[in-house]
Chain A
């Protein structure tokens, strides 16, 4: 969908092709992974603990070099970004990487020197709204305050690509809602591309128009959440019945779960506007179900 808020541009904000990555002496974490983030998309990255979400986001940012495959940000090799392109990226890591001995004011002044753009009004507004003492050493801030400071640092230079790894884990519900409003503002103001991982599915459901499900080292499925809720259904029946039904509906099975007595549960994506025959046992699914079945 193209609209005044989301002008269509050709270059993806991030593009990964055939990316494989293993840690020394470890198994492959990413296995020939393909992924694309387009301008203005807000993509929620879903995966179980240990699925490799953090590794994927680090590889996307060029912080880890894959053994195979290519990673491009705004059309440039992620390992060889020029300064102007680097300045278009904002990152909130899962674990705070702030300099603990600095005060928030010192930290922000330091980062400010690296960027051609810096929205001082936004920084000041967020520091006040999020109740962060400007002159207290960072090591004395609470976990939630450090996380908010990390978010402010990532938003200050008005990035076109914002990568957030579990950005709200230490925030209370009011803090999370406020953070989501900021994200929506980033999208409204600049058509920023946002990718974020979180286990708080209700947050994803609000702001992530697109969802990416990570499983076995790949993006197993990426689609608009609306489409998934409207097209994915859970069916239960004998294996033979299910096979016939899938063919008849031209459905794409996403997950099969064997049940007792030759029966199975099949989660399948139906073509848009498909109608399920009368008498077939079918359930709608919500985001929790999709997470449980597809990651």
Chain B
């Protein structure tokens, strides 16, 4: 009993203790997790309430978009189809809002497009003109002729750095073609079979050259063509490239393949042979169809076609060349004419230019200078195209001073004038009256200022003196010897000047008598007197031969005889210088 009682007490105690354990745990739980439980309930309530979720997402959505857009462009890629569909639906529903929205940008966009197209046309025209007639262009034409290929293709082959001609998107597992893009003009391949064969070759290479990392075939070289293969988890991108593509292009391929996986991931994994959905991948694939030509070699691809525009420009060019030739010729003639005038004495050009299709020239001209109209006629310039204006002026150059002096002073031919150091110099012999007038005139010409007559002989020194004779005799009265001496000196000077001027000079000696005595006696006496002086001069001037004597007698008296002094004057000889001729 005790035992059983004892057992019952024990059981009860155990039960109580178990109960109190449970209560204690509950109390402990409440104590420890009480606040957390409330929070959990709150979170559960929030998760269960779509309205609250909406509010919360809307709170972080703009910031989240901004953060993701900064990191990469996957959001853009993911949103693109949705946005496109939304725009399409909106337009279908009512196009007006979109029309209103894009209206302000339409004009500028169209203008920009036209400007770009025009600039491209001009660019290609330039290249055509540059390369059409170049040696390189001719060589390529010959090559085209030789090989029978079109010129355009030859040019392309020579200038192309690289060109991605075709792009294949291949389903990795089946090797089936999903989509294919190619640039215009490339030969059509059976893309389905190419894809399958390409996959088979990849498998073959992969199986044959097993590598631990499971490396894949990346490049195939077929003559001038290279096939780049980019592997993705579900699809393969293959590009057929002509030429040498840069490694940067790999990144473009990889990026394209990544985008395709992102956009078509589901379609790729569920692919059952229907390639229709992948037609939308065309724009992405077309991004891979890049090419680059060597700008330096850029040729005349369009040179093959002679368009009316090219003909027009060529004609324009020829017209321009012809016009340019005549323009250049006229310019040269004009320059030569102006230069000629500049070097012409007595002409100073102050202005010469071409304006409004006419030549304008103006300046100063000495009236004694050459007539510019004459020079213009010699220059072959159309005189009607030239407008000239000349102001008269006096040139101070020696030749113009001399010319002006000559026209003013009218020197006899026995005088030679020179301008030396601003002074007028006379040489030779002249009548006293001319000498006197010249002295006066030169004083009135400021530009000359000085008259130098050291080399000029005033003929009055020979023609003025009288040699007086004794009454009824042919002998000089005493005191005449000095006069004779001076006279001889002057005759010697005359002789020297005449020789320098290459002139023949004759000295005429006239014998005179007074009125006393008979006429016959006077005639004889006058002859004797002239001969006596002539004889004396011949002795004193042995080289002087041109002497004539003229017995005047008393018929033509020097003076009327009123006084004895008059009579003494008439008993004389006089001299006259006669220029006979040039030597």
**Real complex partners, A and B?**
no
